[in-house]
Amino acid sequence: MRRPHPLYWQYDFAISKPWEVSLRDGPWKLLANKTLDRFELYRVGEDIGETRNLADSNPDRVERMAAVMRQLHKDIAREVVQKSANP
């Protein structure tokens, strides 16, 4: 079953630097650095160990997923600010 929305997560204190943000959409997983300007792309069903970065061979997919990632990142940051202002 396919998710209706991509799965997004952010891990600011992870040991996997520089990767701090991830987006999973179906079999695809996009990793990004904190500033969301460097990416790696994996097809996790075929590469569970994430050893083959497919970003260079799939620039359109990276661009589409990065746009979704940036929007979710922005939405979540805005939500955090709103919640901290109105506890």
Domains and CATH numbers, the chain: 7-85 (3.30.1120.10)
Residue 31 C-alpha from the chain's centroid: 5
pTM assigned to the model:
0.84
Reported as a pLDDT band with limits 50, 70 and 90, residue 67 is very high
In this predicted model, what pLDDT tens digit does every residue of 21-56 receive, in sequence order?
999 999 999 999 989 999 999 999 899 999 999 999
> What percent of the chain lies above the pLDDT cut of 70?
89
